[in-house]
Amino acid sequence: MTLTSLRLVKEILAKHGIRPSKGLGQNFLIDRGAIRKLVAASSIQSNDTILEIGPGIGTLTQELAQLAKKVISVEKDAKMIEILRETLSEFKNIEIIHGDALKSNYKLPATNYKLVSNLPYYITAPTIRKFLEASKAKPYSMTLIVQKEVAQRICAKPPKMSILAASVQVYATPKIISYIKKTAFWPKPKVDAAILQITPFPQPYSIDFPKFFTVVKAGFKQPRKQLVNNLSAGFGLSREKTEQWLCSNDIEPARRAETLSVQDWINLTNTL
């Protein structure tokens, strides 16, 4: 069953009386080449456990199940669960879970697993944050289809940093594998997509993470303002004290937040 066939996708949905939900970010991947790139980038081994969020009708799920030891697919839409039980019936190594991937208390693999998904765009940032911040059962890697612009923002370097970029890069190394045209999806979204791979550090930074994010958010409070002004206001410090704090970390007070590296933010956190 070739689930990248637009005709077949429409037939399956019509059979179940379903229309793609904008609210659930349902844009089905109908480009086999894009799926192959995503799967290849995931480097799936025969003993791997794969977690997939938002499997839809099971297009990507089928490809993952042919390579991995086990696939755990979490789907929020109850109607899609019915379809998945049909399209994935021949596979014995797939566990289908009906629930919200961001809220459900489903059990994650105790050992390293890989997160591979064509993510609904509206849950991109919270999904990445959830799994990067997991104290236990953190994925070995995340290979995701996300909006092109979001992928570029996550991978940005100074002088184009953002809160999102710093929030990901303090935990992991992000990399854009390739881009995908919006015509590879149905219904066609408004923007192009990207295959984004995020690899968490084997040993995370030894820092106070809540404090780190407090400092970063204060620095980016008004992105066009100088750091000395944002940090002074954010922490109730005098301008002189703030300038000393910045200069002690070799950061010019007149710089803007987007010009700082993750290491700069770590240094500021450790010296606050």
Q: Does residue 243 share a domain with residue 195?
A: no
Q: Does residue 246 share a domain with residue 169?
A: no
The domain spanning residue 213 has which CATH number?
A: 1.10.8.100
Q: How far apart are CA 121 and CA 149, in angstroms?
A: 11
Interval 76-100 mean pLDDT: 95
Q: Is the pLDDT of residue 105 over 90?
A: no
- 27 has binding-site annotation: yes
Q: Is the pLDDT of residue 261 over 90?
A: yes
Of 57, 178, 37, the residue nearest 116 (C-alpha) = 37
- 234 has binding-site annotation: no
Instruction: Render pLDDT for 180-194 as a digit per residue (tens, 0 to 9).
Output: 999 999 999 999 999
> Sign of the C-alpha dihedral, residues 182, 191, 53, 36?
positive
What does 235-265 look like in DSSP terms, one character per residue?
Answer: HT--HHHHHHHHHTTT--TT--GGG--HHHH
- 86 has binding-site annotation: no
Q: Does residue 150 share a domain with residue 16?
A: yes
- Report the domain count for the chain: 2
Q: How far apart are CA 65 and CA 60, in angstroms?
A: 9
Interval 155-175 mean pLDDT: 97
Give the domain-ending residue among 159, 178, 200. Answer: 200
Q: Is the pLDDT of residue 169 over 80?
A: yes
Q: Does residue 105 share a domain with residue 218?
A: no
Q: Is the pLDDT of residue 70 over 70?
A: yes
pTM for this model (two decimals): 0.93
Q: Does residue 186 share a domain with residue 119?
A: yes
pLDDT of residue 1: 67
Q: Is the pLDDT of residue 240 over 90?
A: yes
> What is the share, in percent, of the chain residues with pLDDT greater than 90?
87
Average model confidence (pLDDT) across the chain: 94
Flag whether 259 is in a domain. Answer: yes
Q: Does residue 63 share a domain with residue 25?
A: yes
- 75 has binding-site annotation: yes
Neighbours of 46 (CB within 10 A): 7
Instruction: Render pLDDT for 178-233 as a digit per residue (tens, 0 to 9).
Output: 999 999 999 999 999 999 999 999 888 999 999 999 999 999 999 889 999 999 99
pLDDT tier at 24, thresholds 50, 70, 90: confident
Instruction: Render pLDDT for 109-162 as a digit per residue (tens, 0 to 9).
Output: 767 899 999 999 999 999 999 999 987 788 999 999 999 999 999 999 999 999
- 264 has binding-site annotation: no
Flag whether 1 is in a domain. Answer: no
Q: What residue type is assigned to position 233 of the chain?
A: A
Q: Does residue 109 share a domain with residue 129?
A: yes
HSE-CB of 138 using CA atoms within 13 angstroms: 17
Residue 214, domain extent: 209-271
- 267 has binding-site annotation: no
Q: Is the pLDDT of residue 3 over 80?
A: yes
